[in-house]
Amino acid sequence: MDEVTKHPGRPLWLSAEQRLIYKTSAEMQAFLKGATVQTTRPQKDKAAGLSTEKKAKAIPWVEKYRPKSVDEVAYQDEVVAVLKKSLEGADLPNLLFYGPPGTGKTSTILAAARELYGPVLYRQRVLELNASDERGIQVVREKVKNFAQLTVAGTRQDGKPCPPFKIIILDEADSMTAPAQAALRRTMEKQSRTTRFCLICNYISRIIEPLTSRCSKFRFKPLANQIQEERLLAICDKENLKYTKQSIAALVRVSEGDLRKAITFLQSAARLGVDKEITEKAITDIAGVVPPKMIDNLLQICFKGTFEKLEIAVRDMVDEGYAATTILSQLHESIIEQDLNDKQKSAITEKMAVVSKCLSDGADEYLQMLSLCSVIMQQSSQNN
């Protein structure tokens, strides 16, 4: 009777194997009807999987040490001062950030948006479009326009006042087509009550005049060497890295005011030699720059050597795999410091400009570098 009471529809003469099949099918029917079949083992496995996934998850240092608030942004004092005033009054004009890469343009507006909206509302109120996204005229007319038309209000979960506007961030706006930029200006005017735009670019000359006149413009300067050193040393201390003063100085030198590049090189160097000291040579190898000794040697051949020696030196340098554009920029820095008169320097730098254009058009690297070094040799011989 007990068996019949437990399973009223199941015949008692079934074998053990058939009973197991019956039980499984009954659970499946219960699941399909919406009943929950509790199992303990998969949950444990799932929990174990999540914990291992958290341990394995590694964030690039560029993202890990990205400023979380406007106060943490380095070296851009004017922009930070204006944004802090705007955040106090919860009001923000349309913004246009321009300057070299790695100076904190995207980080600044993202930090400001987080302070304005908090971590919860941030995802709903901010639309970020990058150069990798489609940003033709169709996207501006549909996606941007639809997002801009949405009205917002209310307060944050922590009780702080929330501004009644959204933010649309158009990163690398100088790569947008001119028709797309033209379509954007009317949207900026019509939706000024509910939306603020932040355009970010490297070259302000590529943004059309009607857009620049509608925005408050802020120039981001390349970071000073001292500021970069402070940030890099702070990261080294947090990551327990071994380093030398020369290696940090080399990082600052090869990054040329680009903090993002410096942090990326630092992480690469740390991964290259785990638990080893980061050396200047490691930084130079990772950055792909030509060793200063090699550049000095090339210039000495230009000044005092023969054309045959020069040809061999240029061939060796190109065969080593160094990029001609890198050699060109480093030669330019060295030439400026050489003991040549102004006329000679101007002739050499003019030739450098021509070579740079030819290289960007796809000319042969060896021939272009040989051509440049020949001009350096010719100009230096006029001293003798």
Domain end call among 169, 192, 219: 219
| Residue 133 maps to a domain | yes
What is the spatial distance between Cα 175 and Cα 57, in angstroms, rounded to a whole number? 33
Q: Are residues 312 and 331 in the same domain?
A: yes
Domain count, the chain: 4
The answer to whether residue 75 sits within a structural domain is: yes
* Residue 255 scores a pLDDT above 50: yes
How confident is the model over 133-178, as pLDDT tens digits? 666 667 767 777 777 776 666 666 666 667 778 888 888 888 888 8
Higher pLDDT, 211 or 51: 211
- pLDDT higher than threshold 70 for residue 334: yes
Q: Is the model's pLDDT at 350 over the cut of 80?
A: yes
Q: What is the CATH number of the domain that holds 232?
A: 1.10.8.60
Query: Residue 198: helix, strand or coil by DSSP?
Result: strand
What is the reported pTM? 0.70
Strongest mean pLDDT among 22-31, 244-253, 345-354? 345-354
Give the end of a domain, one of 15, 33, 56: 56
With beta carbons less than 8 A apart as the criterion, state whether 109 and 95 touch.
Answer: yes
Residue 286 located in a structural domain: no
**Domain boundary residue among 11, 26, 56?**
56
Q: Name the helix (H) or strand (E) containing 169.
A: strand 166-170
- On whether both 302 and 272 belong to a single domain, the answer is no
Return the amino acid letter for 162: C
d(CA 1, CA 340): 111
Closest-CA residue to 129 (of 120, 119, 138): 138
pLDDT band at 381 (very low <50, low <70, confident <90, very high): confident
- CA–CA separation, 31 and 338 (whole Å): 82
**Does residue 320 fall inside a structural domain?**
yes
Whether residue 178 sits in one domain with residue 36: no
186 lies in a domain?
yes
Q: Are residues 68 and 162 in the same domain?
A: yes
Query: 122 and 174: one domain?
Result: yes
Containing domain of residue 96, as a range? 64-219
